[in-house]
């Protein structure tokens, strides 16, 4: 495992050097200085929540070992919001969340990444335990979906440019929801081919919506707040991925440790709970996107009628 990181390290170093010399962005944003206090508490918050969620896989969600870190994380988030708002310095301009549309865009973006990273973890593990595939095959199952996703992104961007953001985002969130639901209802029929096909469909939906979600959000704020949107969304992207893996891993682990029947049947039961979770989140993302664009359309109609 350590060799993998050594192989990646030169790529990271080259990217850092190229970025330093060739990326030249105009300085824009808040006049306040950087809020290191908020950053520290935000780091504590996210770390504590992830630790708490991870612990719940072995000791249960309502155990002290998992509840205390989650509670610490919630308190740290509250402190972060307070210091960011009332201090002399500022980490982010959270006033952008006075807009319902920004809030809904954030929910859609967060949920999409949660599902994407979460299911990318769940599928290989599930295939190894239930379908008895080796680690190579379990990883390769994700390859067609990744390739389809790479080809989908440029198409999704062009569609957003020509038809607006609503179409690719709603199509994408709907496809992610349907893909998760198909995993759920065909769970007893899953084989390598079906798992791969459904993942291809799900990744098509993800790549239709994900990048367009942040693109859409930047159009909802003033130009000086665009850096805040980019920073907050990129931060939440990392947190959503970590949380997705943590929650789905805990779900699977809990079922394997505390369920009834054989190890495979317990894994299947855990997988069922995980798929239900993904379907539920997909519905939330789709509804958020629909409300987002319908309310914006109503605002535009009211503005034009004045």
Rounded to whole angstroms, what are the CA distances from 166 to 19, 151, 152, 220, 242? 32, 20, 16, 13, 27
Q: Residue 171 — φ and ψ, nearest 5°?
A: -60, -45
Tens-digit pLDDT profile for residues 188-225: 999 999 999 999 999 999 999 999 999 999 999 888 88
Tens-digit pLDDT profile for residues 240-284: 999 999 999 999 988 888 877 888 899 999 999 999 999 999 999
For helices 192-218 and 143-163, angle between their N-to-C axes, nearest 10 degrees: 30
Conformation bin of residue 73: beta by default, left when phi > 0, alpha when psi is -120 to 50: alpha
Residues sharing a CB contact under 8 Å with residue 59, sequence separation 6 or more, in sequence order: 65, 66
Position 254 scores a pLDDT of 86
* Structure tokens belonging to residue 224: 């000086």
Position 15 scores a pLDDT of 78
Position 256 scores a pLDDT of 86
Count of CB atoms situated within 10 Å of the CB of 41: 23
pLDDT in tens, the chain (306 residues): 445 556 667 877 787 787 767 766 555 555 556 678 888 889 999 999 999 988 887 777 678 888 899 999 999 999 988 888 877 777 788 889 988 999 999 999 999 999 999 999 999 999 999 999 998 898 899 999 999 999 999 999 999 999 999 999 999 999 999 999 999 999 999 999 999 999 999 999 999 999 999 999 999 988 888 888 999 999 999 999 999 999 999 999 888 888 778 888 999 999 999 999 999 999 999 999 999 999 887 777 666 665
Classified by CATH at the fold level, domain 96-305 comes out as Growth Hormone; Chain: A; (1.20.1250)
Position 147 scores a pLDDT of 94
Instruction: Give the containing element (helix H, strand E) for 150.
Output: helix 143-163
Position 1 scores a pLDDT of 46
d(CA 75, CA 269): 33
What are the helix (H) ranges across 87-188? 100-126, 135-140, 143-163, 166-185
E strand spans, the chain: 33-34, 89-90
d(CA 217, CA 236): 14
Position 66 scores a pLDDT of 85
d(CA 78, CA 67): 17
Question: Would you say 181 and 279 are in contact if contact means Cβ atoms under 8 Å apart?
Answer: yes
Question: Could you tell me which residues are beta bridge partners of residue 90?
Answer: 34
């Amino acid at each position: 495992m350590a060799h993998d990181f050594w192989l990646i390290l030169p790529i990271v170093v080259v990217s850092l050097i190229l970025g330093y010399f060739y990326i030249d962005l105009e300085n824009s944003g808040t006049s306040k200085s950087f809020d290191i206090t908020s950053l520290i508490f935000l780091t504590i918050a996210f770390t504590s929540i992830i630790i708490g969620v991870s612990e719940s896989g072995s000791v249960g969600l309502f155990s002290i070992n998992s509840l205390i870190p989650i509670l610490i994380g919630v308190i740290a988030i509250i402190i972060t919001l307070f210091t960011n708002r009332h201090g002399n310095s500022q980490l982010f301009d959270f006033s952008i969340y006075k807009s319902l549309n920004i809030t809904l865009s954030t929910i859609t973006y967060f949920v999409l990444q949660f599902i994407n990273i979460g299911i990318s973890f769940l599928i290989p593990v599930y295939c190894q335990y239930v379908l008895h595939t080796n680690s190579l095959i379990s990883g390769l199952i994700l390859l067609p979906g990744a390739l389809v996703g790479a080809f989908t992104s440029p198409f999704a961007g062009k569609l957003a440019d020509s038809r607006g953001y609503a179409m690719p985002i709603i199509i994408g969130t709907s496809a992610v929801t349907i893909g998760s639901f198909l995993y759920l209802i065909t769970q007893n029929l899953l084989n390598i081919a079906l798992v791969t096909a459904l993942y291809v469909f799900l990744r098509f939906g993800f790549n239709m919506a994900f990048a367009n979600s942040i693109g859409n959000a930047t159009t909802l704020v003033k130009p000086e707040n665009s850096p805040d949107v980019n920073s907050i969304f990129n931060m939440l992207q990392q947190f959503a991925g970590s949380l997705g893996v943590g929650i789905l891993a805990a779900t699977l682990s809990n079922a394997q440790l505390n369920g009834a029947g054989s190890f495979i049947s317990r894994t299947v039961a855990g997988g069922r709970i995980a798929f239900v979770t993904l379907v539920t989140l997909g519905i939330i993302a789709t509804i958020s996107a629909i409300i987002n664009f319908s309310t914006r359309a109503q605002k535009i109609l009211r503005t034009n009628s004045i």
